[in-house]
Amino acid sequence: MAHLHDLTAIEQAEAVRRREISPVEIVRHYLERIERLDPQVGAYVTVTAERALDEARALERGEPDGPLYGVPIPVKDLNLVKDVPIRFGSATYEDFVAPVDDTVVERLREAGTVMLGKTATPEFGLPCYTETYVSPPSRSAWDLTRSAGGSSGGAAAAVAAGLAPAAHGSDGAGSIRIPASVCGLFGIKPTRGRISFAPIVPDLAGMSTNGPLARTVADAAALLDVMTQNTPGDLYLAPPVEGGFLEAARREPGRLRIARYATPVVPEAEVEPDVLAAYEEAAKTLAGLGHEIVDIAPPFTADVVPQFVTLWYTFACMHPVALDKHDRLRPLTAFLRERGHAVRAPDFLQAQAALQLATRFALHVTNAYDAVLTPTVTQTPRPVGWFEEGGDPQETFERMKRFAAFPAIYNVTGQPAVNLPLHWTPAGLPVGVMLAGRVGEEATLISLSAQVEAARGGFWGTRRPEIWSA
């Protein structure tokens, strides 16, 4: 073993269980790397070093139990951790300290994980890139001139750079899968209702969910097992899973019928050749494993885009901002909030009704297959600053829509979806592909992903970003 961060999260927990390493050793290793390397990466907005060491010392006195005991897992800065500052990526919340824990944070603690800190997120989690007024831009470990995506950009940057073994994230329109794609990671958006947002965050339209990012399928599956829970009052409940997700990562999926399409529903969005190459490579790999691949037309049309945009405008208004702090908002956020406040309640309800109608028709198509393959994003990782070139928030929003033209569909339907890091361009940039499944069937996606991972000799193989060994 060259370094502790070369171990997967599950391997770290196994080493703790065998008393070969201690939770304190692991935490100190990551804290040292964060202090030395994070100024280049921009993964963390808050590092809770003393708290992490205290948690690790307490775990050393306990009896190791569970697949992630003693493993550091940072929390995205859209989630509440009691007594820890939370900024939601916004300068308007610089002095706010969380009054309670989110239930998913409680679950992480109960599983024996250690919180290293809070990972960076764009303002209120709205953009698909992580550039804020409260922390440096989050960058892809594979090329530090490139964005780590968003809104779980800090989480993805941390895992890809070896500043955390795996990370908590959340996904409202691709916010786990987009960063996973541009950072070369495996990420899971679970089924709607799989993970509670209690006690404070409402689930309302049901677009967003918590979920894991990791280098391996098994690590992500183990983390999803930990996060999975419901709380009285949740508006959505996912179908139960037998045996757990880590168990699914360790079994064969059988021969599956997999649909595929690569036509984005967003008008004027174009899929770059490198992205199409990743898509074709994935289809070839899946066919080589014995699965049936079927070309289909996109189950949604461009008619859904304006309806989704209406909802996204209103989501920008969910966080209250004091009148004397409006000048601290980023231009894109101010643009979205202005339009969100102008949406009439009947227009919001009609947009949501239209999306539900489209979902009902789309599921008749996708439910005929065990999985659906598409690109994750339409372009290779974008340079830091690219989305805001020119300073026009309308153009920034259009660039976001064209770049992230595939993943938000499955936030609308509530289906589970994963990013597979299968392809790197000749320039060394990662390009992911997406697999979506039937509602409640994350286990099928996880089992299939693990099969692909094994066939490839691991997603990363012998490849590592330069900063990994720094």
Describe the crossing of helices 217-227 and 442-455 by its angle, rounded to 10 degrees.
160
Residue 294: Cβ within 10 Å count: 14
Give me the amino acid identity at 20.
Answer: E
Q: State the catalytic residue, choosing from 76, 118, 189, 401.
A: 76
Distance CA 284, CA 271 (A): 18
Q: State the catalytic residue, choosing from 151, 152, 181, 447.
A: 151
Going by their DSSP bridges, the two strands 257-260 and 371-375 should be labelled as parallel
Distance CA 179, CA 159 (A): 11
Residue 175 annotated among the catalytic residues of the structure: yes
Distance CA 255, CA 280 (A): 19
Residue 140 annotated among the catalytic residues of the structure: no
Residue 401 annotated among the catalytic residues of the structure: no
Distance CA 153, CA 180 (A): 8
Residue 436, classed as helix, strand or coil, is strand
Contacts 24+ apart (CB under 8 A), 323-330: 325/91, 325/92, 326/92, 328/90, 328/91, 328/92, 328/133, 329/90, 329/91, 329/92, 329/123, 330/90, 330/123, 330/132, 330/133
Q: State the catalytic residue, choosing from 170, 175, 181, 447.
A: 175
Q: Among residues 115, 116, 113, which one has the least CA distance to residue 66?
A: 113
Describe the crossing of helices 393-403 and 331-341 by its angle, rounded to 10 degrees.
90
Catalytic positions are 76, 151, 175
